[in-house]
Amino acid sequence: MAFLAGALCLVLGWRLALALEGGMLYPRESPSRELKDLSGLWSFRVDWSEQRDAGFVQRWYRQPLRQSGPVIDMPVPASFNDITQDPNLRKYVGWAWYEKEVLPPARWLQKEAGTRVVLRIGSAHYYSIVWVNGVQVTEHEGGHLPFEVEIDNFLRPMEMCRITVAINNTLTPHTLPPGTIQYFKDESMYPKDYFVQNTKFDFFNYAGIHRPVILYTTPSAYIDDITVTTDLIENVGLLQYLVSVRGSPHCSLTLTLRDRDGDVVATANGSAGELKVLDPNLWWPYLMNEQPGYLYYLEVTLSAVVNGEVLEDKYTQPVGFRTVRVTSTQFLINGKPFYFHGVNKHEDADIRGKGLDWSLIVKDFNLLRWLGANAFRTSHYPYAEEIMELCDAYGIVVIDECPGVGMRDSANFGNRSLQHHLVVMEELIRRDKNRPSVVMWSVANEPASELPPAAYYFKTVIAHTKAMDPTRPVTFITNTNYARDQGAPYVDVICVNSYFSWYHDPGHLEVIQLQLDSQFENWYKTHQKPIIQSEYGADAVAGLHSDPPLMFSEEYQTAVLKEYHTIFDQKRKEYVIGELIWNFADFMTEQGTMRVLGNKKGIFTRQRQPKSAAFLLKERYWRLANESRLLSSQHDNACFPPSQAFKCT
């Protein structure tokens, strides 16, 4: 197992140097770009050797995987843990090998076409090494963000392309999230070389290729990255843009901004500048306007000369005109107070684990609409780009969180961890910087921020995040005592988790209001910053009832929420700017005496059926929306607008 930790550290310095070479635009088809989705069945094998290194020693990547041993079919995207009946695979730690053979279209490989072919992996947990036709082409650390590599030099016309991906799900004190490997030496109690992966976060460490793998093309001179920011001055919308180009120094750029109907509202030329739109339709959150999630479309066209030939590349970037500002008591979107009434979620479901599933995604958005939720936090890692696309289109506000969860030990706050944390924030901001739905970055969840190293650590991470994106506030989610939290002075919004009458004073509903009121008063008096109750709740086993309410019953979960809501209604008139229930749905965790087939704090079951608390929250959230007087009380007929098609001309 020493090889596991060694391999994870082997290229850390290389990754730090190369993490942000180039942009990470979301793949979209256009007249100059094609996509080929590689989702489906891949060949799969885990490495059961003692050191988990047989795949490297025997060079499994040099030939089809089936030739070096038995393989099974594995769906992509999906976690591998729950696909088979093998309990050892479910809890496997080490290297897992995936392989797919694909025939690229012949036109992609014609030399005169001047085409780049890019392999893009939406996410793979945790550490990935990628080969194409037996040649290593890239590696990546981190389980929740995309990475890509140009592979046209490794392809041969009219021949199959063999893509091999080795994934290691081992977590160390310096990964994000962190973990430890514990070895058991007593052979009278444990098998020889027995070890387990320990973590200090409360969700199952699913592993695999979790998001789509695609091949896409661009011309050899191409639009590499686009950055947009928006502002409002009276009735004029301002859109600042910056476009980077690769592949040719001899190029020109034209930009056309279209509204939802396809009408041109502004044009420009050049790689940087500003577009002005008179009386723009603003991007508003769901339930705050009759047209939530209004998007414009910035069409960027590149003309470049390469080897005497003119090449053209087109890319369309969705844009929402909106502003965000924080005061000592309010969170303002487009200058109007915004109150977060929403949920925390997980990418989690039966069988597929964290694998992307369109049916589940659409179901969840329909439940959010039914519930009257206007926001969620990507607890505790960045969610799929496909989910973020719909947040933009539907007007669902997002607190975008990095995988900084389980940071409970002083070893998690050293320079090595800090360097990697900074890279992760760079990758997250590079991916989501243009999304109007993202209104705040979260750099961690429930870290041991009372430890002395946490002050410098979070001061550095937050300053780095703001330097990369000065347009959004930054926070982290705390459960540390207000007087001991070393990181709180550096956040813009206080986000606090508490579970009164559950983890603290379990069963005593009568203490909630007093303790919650004290919590809010202490935090606000200390920091004079607006506060979000970023987690609260109680476990409830669906169908378990008790009157009077007893713990784990649906009635107790509902009673806890009611006690919290009483104080929320008092404090939201002052400085509390939001409430996010924990959790949207039940989810899987590691096995333990406190967990019966996972965490049951969801207001929906893992199969997305409502518990009693869901109806309580629905009534509350619609009441909060209607109190804004910006929405008709006929809320049962409210719905999301249809997802807007991207137009390229």
Give me the active site residues, please. Answer: 446
What is the end-to-end Cα distance of the chain in Å, rounded?
A: 54
- Indicate the SS3 state at residue 362: helix
Q: Determine how β-strand 340-344 pairs with β-strand 375-377.
A: parallel
Distance CA(610)–CA(557), nearest Å, equals: 13
Contact call for residues 46 and 90 (beta carbons, < 8 A): no
Contact call for residues 160 and 133 (beta carbons, < 8 A): no
Question: Tokens representing 122?
Answer: 């939406």
Distance CA(208)–CA(223), nearest Å, equals: 31
Distance CA(193)–CA(122), nearest Å, equals: 34
Helix H or strand E encompassing 426: helix 415-432
Contact call for residues 553 and 546 (beta carbons, < 8 A): yes
Q: Cα-flanking dihedrals φ and ψ of residue 347, to 5°? A: -85, 95
Contact partners, residue 585, CB within 8 Å, separation at least 6 = 345, 346, 348, 364, 602, 603, 604, 605, 606, 608
Distance CA(319)–CA(251), nearest Å, equals: 24
Distance CA(465)–CA(469), nearest Å, equals: 6
Distance CA(458)–CA(444), nearest Å, equals: 9
Of 224, 212, 302, the closest CA to residue 21 belongs to 224
Task: Please identify which residue in the block is written with the tokens 């050892």.
Answer: 88
- Indicate the SS3 state at residue 399: strand
Distance CA(271)–CA(286), nearest Å, equals: 33
Contact call for residues 635 and 626 (beta carbons, < 8 A): yes
